[in-house]
Amino acid sequence: MIFPIDHPDVRRAVDAALAEDLGPGDFTTSTTIPADLQAEARFVAKQDIVVAGSELLTLLFDSPHIQKNSGDRARAGETIATVRASARTLLSRERVSLNFLQRLSGVATLAAKFVEAIEGTGVRILDTRKTTPGLRILEKMAAAAGGAVNHRMGLYDAVLIKNNHIRLAGGVRTAIERARSTQKPIEIEVRTRAEIEDALACGAHRLLLDNMSPQQAAVEIRFIDHRAETEISGGITLENVRAFAEARPDFISSGAITHSAPAVDINCGIYAL
């Protein structure tokens, strides 16, 4: 799993992070550290993690030595990457580097926990659009590094009719009929048996069972009986995801993977050469 570092959104995110932190210059480093001092930075995991975003170091430094790629597991104490460069460069880019590595590896690590929690069920974990503004592609690639499946990247690449669409359109049938013009597979959120029946009758490709209990979801999935793909969402946690998976949907989506992932502990030690 390699981050697409040539993607314009990735480069834009890295450039914006540098500009935000550096501003007119790193006055502390430029006044305290000799310009000719060379050093080595070592990025080391301080806990067991799934790495994500290490490839971004190639956009921040010349020729970093990456030892753990996105999707690799790193044990506490293992080195993720080393970089040799001007001490000033290392110090000025240390925080931006760590912010990306800690945040993205946190997303990957949490995604991996969700995937592990449902192992053996055949259900696939999906991420959502509940991402940090400006960092969607990075956070979704991090989720994929942890084993989750990317859902739609944005509003433009899939049809997902939610309850607000249904209400404003005037019902399930009307919403689906109007969405056919996109010529894309149609997924629709359903909350009642009547909505499920309408969606199936209209040929919806996937039904999103939202905010149901595992028991409720299991009943509806048996009723659907493979006439459409099924996805469960709403209130999914590490503690209950296994129970939902045992209802045997095709997918379970969790916004927590991106909106609630805690940053992991990674240290950057910088040493003079």
pLDDT tens track, the chain, 273 positions:
567 888 999 999 999 999 999 999 999 999 999 999 999 999 999 999 999 999 999 999 999 999 999 999 999 999 999 999 999 999 999 999 999 999 999 999 999 999 999 999 999 999 999 999 999 999 999 999 999 999 999 999 999 999 999 999 999 999 999 999 999 999 999 999 999 999 999 999 999 999 999 999 999 999 999 999 999 999 999 999 999 999 999 999 999 999 999 999 999 999 999
Helical spans, DSSP H, in 152-192: 163-169, 172-179
What whole-number distance in Å separates Cα of residue 261 and Cα of residue 6? Answer: 25
What pTM value is reported for the model? 0.95
What whole-number distance in Å separates Cα of residue 84 and Cα of residue 77? Answer: 20
In sequence order, what are the beta bridge partners of 251?
124, 231
42 touches 66 (CB < 8 A):
no
Q: Please give the pLDDT value at position 146.
A: 97
Residue 126: closest CA among 262, 230, 16, 21: 230
What is the set of active-site residues?
A: 95, 130, 162, 189, 210
Domains of the chain in start order, with CATH, are 8-115+261-272 (3.90.1170.20), 119-259 (3.20.20.70)
